[in-house]
């Protein structure tokens, strides 16, 4: 049952046999809110009857960072299980056993191929599509369908949201953003069709509302924030607690507290501004990137935890972003610094940005690992790509890309390794392997040639 809803009355009337009919997808409905639940022991009898219920689903995520890296400081040294973290990846030390570093992968269709400059536009647009974008600054954009949306069409049918797309910088889709390439290419990695990017959500409140089904106009933000989502379901929660065992009550408390904590953080950064009518309304995003990035990571964890979706993309910033990072003493723009011309001062600042993004990614991995899921944790049951489609930001290389693959993919992947593939191995082969892992068979796109061993 795709949307098995449990009303207050239904919860009240539950007896021993009825409890066995509660599925993992159980939702609480109250005053226009649908709140998904984590897996509970209460649900296990129903789960045992469902297809593939014995194992937790595998989650797929792609986390994209822009502008390349300082490659010499980003890539580790060593091979197999005998390797050491590089300076740029040192913040991931406590998570080293939970991911693999993949060397030798390339996205050839991000290269010029006769189209001249525009590497940033091609980097983002080719990253997940494996396709070469048609060069235009007008409306006739065309690239290819992205791996996440191919997965969403088939694997995403099992959840309320087939996929979710997140970011921290909106940006426009129209106009020229990179040497004759439309802005849509630089500002999106997810493409629903060859000509239609999948709009990403950069406002944590709107993402929260989408995940948890709040209704009403998102323009009436103060009303939405005053009517806290968990206040809507207080009675339903009490009923669930009453019919649950001790372990389930602990899980429910932990889960509801985590949702409340994320919601309160959204409230804190939503700084009020005066509207012409005198109404106070929060701004669209937090001040500073760190809280913004971490909130988006937390929303992904909640989405995966409740099986609201199993597929996510997250752009840490748009390709070509010139964001500054004063909190790590980098006041110059990222894009500007990436063209460092081998100047030591600029290279040092790029290395700081690389370390900063690694630190945020470690935060995400730790949250996944701390979240119980079936017989393991969410990270055990995930395949998460972290990387970009430019290697050296100064040279605009699109081979030997900086790519990590985190998670064990349902305990099918041995982690904690540095894997080397032949130079120019298609990055698309990794994505085909991920899709095959979740039952999306025989997917080849871009210059992909099949699957790779991970």
Q: Is the pLDDT of residue 171 over 90?
A: no
Average pLDDT of the chain to the nearest whole number: 85
Residue 92 located in a structural domain = yes
pLDDT average, residue stretch 121-132? 98
- Sign of torsion over alpha carbons 85, 91, 94, 97: negative
Q: How far apart are CA 445 and CA 141, in angstroms?
A: 18
The token pair at 207 is: 């993402």
Token pair for residue 297?
């990571």
Tokens for 312, please give them.
């996510």
CB of 389 closer than 8 Å to CB of 126: yes
pLDDT at 7: 37
Q: How many whole angstroms separate alpha carbon 85 and alpha carbon 440?
A: 33
Q: Is the dihedral of CA 409, 413, 414, 419 positive or negative?
A: negative
Tokens representing 434 are 């991920």
| 164-193 mean pLDDT | 95
Comparing 10-24, 48-62, 327-341, 366-380, the range with the smallest average pLDDT is 10-24
Burial degree of 227 (CB within 10 A; 0-12, 13-18, 19+): middle
Q: Confidence band (pLDDT; 50, 70, 90) for 443?
A: confident
The DSSP call for residue 80 is B
Q: What is the pLDDT of residue 248?
A: 77
Share above pLDDT 70 across residues of the chain, in percent, rounded to a whole number: 78
How much is the pLDDT for 216?
42
In a domain, 60, yes or no: yes
Q: How confident is the model at residue 8 (pLDDT cuts 50, 70, 90)?
A: very low
33-47, 187-201, 227-241, 249-263 — most confident range: 187-201
Asked if residue 454 is part of any domain, the answer here is no
Residue 58, pLDDT > 80, answer yes
Among candidate residues 86, 33, 32, the one with its CA nearest the CA of residue 404: 86
Residue 277 has a pLDDT of: 53
Length reported for the chain: 454
Do the domain assignments include residue 449? no
Q: Which pair of structure tokens corresponds to residue 357? A: 């993004």
Dig out the tokens for 411 from the structure: 């305990």
The pair of three-digit structure tokens given for residue 192, joined into one six-digit string: 């629903």
With beta carbons less than 8 A apart as the criterion, state whether 431 and 147 touch.
Answer: yes
- Stretch 315-337: mean pLDDT: 97
14 band by pLDDT with thresholds 50, 70 and 90: very low
Domain total for the chain? 1
Q: Which long-range contacts (CB under 8 A, 24 or more apart) does 14-20 make?
A: 14/243, 19/45, 19/243, 20/45, 20/46
What domain range is 432 assigned to? Answer: 5-437
Is 81 among the domain residues? Answer: yes
Whether the Cβ atoms of residue 429 and residue 401 lie closer than 8 Å to each other? no
Q: Who has greater pLDDT, 42 or 273?
A: 42
pLDDT for residue 197 is more than 90: yes
**Does 150 reside within a domain?**
yes
CATH code of residue 51: 3.40.720
State the pLDDT at residue 265.
84
State the pLDDT confidence band at 417, using cuts at 50, 70 and 90.
very high
Least confident of 2-6, 255-259, 362-366, 399-403: 2-6
pLDDT of residue 208 exceeding 50, the answer is: yes
**Measuring CA to CA, which residue among 223, 146, 131, 230 is closest to residue 191?**
146
Evaluate whether residue 369 is within a structural domain.
yes
For residues 40 and 317, which has the higher predicted lDDT (pLDDT)?
317
Mean pLDDT, residues 225-253: 66
**Could you tell me what percent of the chain has a pLDDT over 90?**
66
Considering 34-43, 212-221, 224-233, 402-411, the range whose residues carry the highest mean pLDDT is 402-411
pLDDT band at 193 (very low <50, low <70, confident <90, very high): very high
**In contact, 298 and 46? CB cutoff 8 Å:** no
Alpha-carbon dihedral of residues 216, 222, 226, 231, nearest 10 degrees?
A: 30
8 Å CB contact between 408 and 84:
no
Task: Report the SS3 class of residue 395.
Answer: coil
Q: Is residue 62 part of a domain?
A: yes
- Residues with Cβ < 8 Å from 286, sequence gap 6 or more? 204, 269, 270, 292, 295
């Amino acid at each position: 049952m795709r949307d098995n809803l449990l009303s207050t009355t239904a919860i009240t009337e539950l007896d021993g046999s009825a409890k066995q009919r509660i599925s993992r997808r159980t939702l609480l409905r109250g005053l226009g809110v649908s709140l998904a639940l984590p897996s509970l022991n209460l649900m296990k009898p129903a789960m045992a009857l469902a297809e593939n219920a014995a194992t937790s689903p595998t989650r797929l995520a792609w986390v994209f960072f822009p502008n390349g890296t300082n490659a010499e400081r980003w890539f580790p040294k060593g091979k197999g299980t005998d390797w050491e973290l590089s300076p740029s990846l040192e913040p991931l030390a406590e998570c080293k056993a939970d991911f693999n570093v993949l060397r030798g992968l390339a996205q050839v269709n991000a290269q010029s191929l006769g189209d001249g400059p525009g590497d940033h536009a091609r980097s983002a647009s080719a990253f997940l599509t494996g396709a070469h974008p048609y060069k235009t600054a007008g409306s006739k954009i065309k690239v290819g369908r992205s791996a996440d949306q191919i997965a969403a069409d088939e694997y995403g049918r099992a959840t309320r949201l087939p996929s979710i797309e997140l970011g921290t910088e909106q940006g426009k889709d129209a106009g020229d953003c990179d040497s004759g390439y439309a802005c849509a290419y630089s500002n999106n990695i997810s493409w629903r069709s060859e000509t239609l990017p999948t709009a990403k959500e950069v406002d944590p409140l709107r993402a929260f509302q989408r995940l948890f089904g709040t209704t009403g106009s998102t323009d009436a933000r103060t009303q939405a924030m005053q009517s806290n989502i968990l206040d809507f379901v207080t009675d339903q929660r009490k009923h669930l607690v009453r019919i649950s065992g001790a372990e389930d009550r602990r899980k429910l408390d932990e889960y509801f507290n985590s949702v409340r904590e994320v919601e309160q953080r959204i409230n804190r950064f939503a700084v009020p501004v005066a509207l012409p009518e005198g109404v106070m309304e929060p701004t669209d995003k937090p001040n500073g990137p760190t809280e913004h990035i971490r909130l988006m990571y937390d929303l992904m964890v909640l989405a995966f935890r409740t099986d609201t979706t199993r597929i996510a993309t997250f752009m840490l910033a748009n390709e070509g972003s010139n964001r500054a990072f004063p909190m790590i003493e980098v006041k110059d723009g990222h894009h500007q610094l990436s063209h460092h011309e081998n100047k030591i001062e600029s290279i040092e600042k790029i290395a700081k940005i690389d370390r900063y993004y690694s630190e945020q990614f470690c935060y995400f991995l730790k949250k996944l690992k701390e979240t119980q899921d079936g017989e393991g944790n969410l990270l055990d049951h995930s395949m998460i790509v972290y990387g970009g489609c430019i290697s050296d930001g100064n040279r605009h290389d699109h081979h030997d890309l900086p790519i990590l693959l985190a998670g064990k993919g349902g305990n099918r992947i041995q982690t904690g390794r540095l894997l080397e593939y032949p130079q120019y191995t298609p990055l698309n082969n990794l994505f085909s392997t991920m899709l095959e892992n979740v039952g999306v068979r025989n997917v080849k796109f871009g210059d992909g040639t099949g699957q790779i061993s991970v």
